[in-house]
Amino acid sequence: MGPEIRDALASEAPALRPLLRSNPPAESPLSWLLSRQTFWVFLVTVIAFVVLTLATDSFATQQNLFNVTRNFAFVAIIALGMTAVIITGGIDLSVGSLVCLTGMVLGVVMNAGFGIWAGAGAGLLVALAVGAINGLLIAYVGMPPFVVTLGMLAIARSLAMVASNNRMIYTFGPDQADLLRLGGGTTLGIANPVIVLVVLTLVTGYLFRWTQWGRHVFAVGGNEQAAMLAGVPVRWIKISVYMIAALTAGITGVLEVGWLGAVTTNLGQSMELAVIAAAVIGGAHLSGGTGTALGAVIGAALIEIIRNSLLLLGVDAFWQGTFVGSFIVLAVMFDRLRGWRFAD
Amino acid sequence: MQLFELRNISKNFGAIQALANVSVTLERGQVVGLMGDNGAGKSTLVKIIAGNFPPTHGTLAIDGRPITFHKPIEAREAGVEIVYQDLALCDNLTAAANVFLGRELRIGFGPLHVLDHGGMVRRTALLFQELKAETRPRDLVRRMSGGQRQAVAIARTRLSDAKILLMDEPTAAISVRQVTEVLNLIRRLREQGLAIVLVSHRMPDVFSVADRIVVLRRGRKVADKSIANSTPEEVTGLITGAIDGA
């Protein structure tokens, strides 16, 4: 292009500016809300809730709601950690096995006569160590997260079998009552795991929105190269998200053993799928760069409500996977369609 | 006044000599257009200035003081900022978040520090105002035009008190109107006393904004002259080798 043509266009530019403006108009609060996947999933969850309340006598009972909230809390707690991993563009397939390994370490330690602090502490330390190994292999060796955590999925469950000699553990030494109360008890009428979930959701939301760490997690998922050039400690950020995912799996492991009152080596089997589904339905893109704490929780709630409603409506349990799977596909497809409409 | 001096720079990669005895001087408030065909040594020279690697032979000096860079961060601390060709921005973050990436403002209450969102948005708005860029701090970079992205990338460099700005093909992938915008940005930065190196293939852009032109061919400097004493035809000849040197 010759400079004369460009200069001619440039002198026209002020007149053309309103037409050429590429700035989208300032977003109204309503259009902001409508552009959030979290909002739509929340809406679907509320509708499902209302429909079930009207359609069945058994859904809106205190006992059932108590069960629903407690059941989804286990998945939702890990979905918070998984969301951090997914925002960086990674994935962690080892969380289900890690629930089992943490629970087993807790069980073995308490079974040997140690207290609940020693048991939970040992379990969570093992979880953090596994998360650190995942993170180191991914950040420093540069291996794909899928491969590293798939390997860890097998390793962690196998170690749980080794630790327990594949036995079921159901006696937890002197602090057994404390453990059962921690996972199965209530505080002010709310199941303890739900309280833990609420606290962790607030903490995660705070970390994402208000800390430099949170900003860097999003930056790594948005453009890793750019983050590196800007001086973001990319490797440390990656290690930290895998450690956080592992920690949330560990916390769930401790609570779930307390609720069940026993640990077997199939605890948390295929749980990683429900967790990833919750995070994705809640708006975390597997390509990285987006996701919210609240979205992960709402995603987990929706999955549990679907599961629970099928149960209450008398649908054969074999159909559960079909419904949950369809919702995952629908949520992502919906997001894709919205992406096309808003595409520049 | 000489700000940045590269003296007799050579760079070998194994048996290949990428740069041979190149000397360039950058001055405050001056735009130097760095031109040359692919493989002429432009990016090697840029990477030496940016601190990606040291030269095999030769010296660098800022304000007369000799200096060596081993890492990009050392160059940045010495006042060298780079706008990369692919702009190196995070699409999923806002303009303000990108401008402050890696050096976020925080406000603290005791040991607790939170991001100062308001402060970063205000500083970014000021930077855009200073650059007269039509970019809003709260907009997501994903929804921005090429020119607006360029403004974000340039605003990033204005956060620190940069003295030397390297721009790698800033007009390569953007529309005509945005090219005008970016060239205006470069002129404003020159007014603020920066020494600017503009690496570009686009002859009209270089001739419209540069004060001096440096042409590299096969690792050697074949021309270093005022834009006023040259023509696009001559520079084309110098780049291709049709003209030996000037």
Answer yes or no: is A257 within a domain: yes
Please determine, for residue B227, whether its predicted confidence score (pLDDT) is greater than 70.
Answer: yes
Give the structural domain span for B50: 1-79+162-246
So what's the pLDDT on residue B4?
A: 85
> Could you tell me which residues are beta bridge partners of residue B62?
B4, B65
So what's the pLDDT on residue A27?
A: 53
Same domain for B203 and B233?
Answer: yes
Answer yes or no: is A1 within a domain: no
Answer yes or no: is B84 within a domain: no
Compute the distance between CA of residue B16 and CA of residue B70 in angstroms, rounded to an integer: 21
Give the structural domain span for A240: 61-342
- Structural domain count of chain B: 2
Q: What are phi and psi of A302, to 5 degrees?
A: -65, -45
Answer yes or no: is B98 within a domain: yes
Same domain for B206 and B190?
Answer: yes
- Retrieve residue A139's tokens: 């950040």
pLDDT tens for each residue of B121-130: 999 988 888 7
- Find the residue in A nearest to B115 (Cα): A210
Contact A219/B93, CB-based, under 8 Å? Answer: yes
Pairs of residues, one from chain A and one from chain B, whose beta carbons lie less than 8 Å apart: 92
Answer yes or no: is A299 within a domain: yes
Q: Mind giving me the DSSP string for A281-296?
A: HTT--TTSS---HHHH
Chain B residues whose beta carbon lies within 8 Å of the beta carbon of residue A212: 104, 106, 113, 115
Answer yes or no: is B85 within a domain: no
- Retrieve residue A123's tokens: 């379990």
Compute the distance between CA of residue A259 and CA of residue A121 in angstroms, rounded to an integer: 18
Q: Domain end: B125, B144, B160, which one?
A: B160
The CATH code of the domain that includes B191 is 3.40.50.300
> Bigger pLDDT: B110 or A246?
A246
> Which one, of A331, A76, A337, A328, lies nearest residue A191 by Cα?
A76
Answer yes or no: is A153 within a domain: yes
pLDDT tens for each residue of B50-61: 888 888 888 888
| Chain A closest-CA separation from residue B147 CA (Å) | 10
Compute the distance between CA of residue B39 and CA of residue A272 in angstroms, rounded to an integer: 50
Interchain CB contact of A177 with B (< 8 Å): no
Contact B102/A211, CB-based, under 8 Å? Answer: no
For residue A42, which amino acid is it?
A: F
Neighbours of B174 (CB within 10 A): 18
Average pLDDT over chain B reads 85
Strand, coil or helix: what is B74? helix
Q: Greatest CA span in chain B, whole angstroms?
A: 67
Neighbours of B68 (CB within 10 A): 10
Of B91, B103, B204, the CB nearest to A222: B91
> Bigger pLDDT: B140 or A243?
A243
Same domain for B50 and B60?
Answer: yes
Answer yes or no: is A2 within a domain: no
Answer yes or no: is A97 within a domain: yes
Compute the distance between CA of residue B139 and CA of residue B230 in angstroms, rounded to an integer: 42
Residues of chain A below pLDDT 50: 1-26, 342-344
So what's the pLDDT on residue A32?
A: 65
The most confident of the ranges B26-35, B66-75, B161-170 is B26-35
So what's the pLDDT on residue A237?
A: 95
- Find the residue in A nearest to B135 (Cα): A23
Same domain for B113 and B228?
Answer: no
For residue B123, which amino acid is it?
A: R
So what's the pLDDT on residue A28?
A: 63
Of B92, B104, B176, the CB nearest to A1: B176
So what's the pLDDT on residue A16?
A: 36
Answer yes or no: is B88 within a domain: no
Alpha helices in B104-209 (DSSP H): 117-130, 146-159, 176-191, 203-209
pLDDT tens for each residue of B178-192: 788 888 888 888 888
- Check if the beta carbon of residue A234 is closer than 8 Å to that of residue A140: no
Q: Domain end: B141, B160, B179, which one?
A: B160
Same domain for B188 and B198?
Answer: yes
Answer yes or no: is A313 within a domain: yes
CA distances in angstroms from A143 to A86, A98, A146, A152, A245, listed in the order given: 16, 20, 9, 13, 18
Contact B115/A225, CB-based, under 8 Å? Answer: no
Same domain for B20 and B114?
Answer: no
The CATH code of the domain that includes A88 is 1.10.3470
- Check if the beta carbon of residue B63 is closer than 8 Å to that of residue B13: no
| Chain B closest-CA separation from residue A293 CA (Å) | 17
DSSP state of B142: G
| Chain A closest-CA separation from residue B40 CA (Å) | 24
DSSP state of A14: H
Same domain for B68 and B103?
Answer: no
CA distances in angstroms from B88 to A49, A231, A279, B23, listed in the order given: 45, 12, 28, 29
Same domain for B67 and B133?
Answer: no
Alpha helices in chain A (DSSP H): 3-20, 29-34, 37-55, 62-87, 95-111, 116-139, 145-164, 176-184, 192-210, 212-222, 224-229, 234-260, 271-281, 293-312, 320-342
Answer yes or no: is B89 within a domain: no
- Structural domain count of chain A: 1
Contact B101/A226, CB-based, under 8 Å? Answer: yes
Q: Domain end: B160, B187, B211, which one?
A: B160
Type and span of the H or E element at A172: none
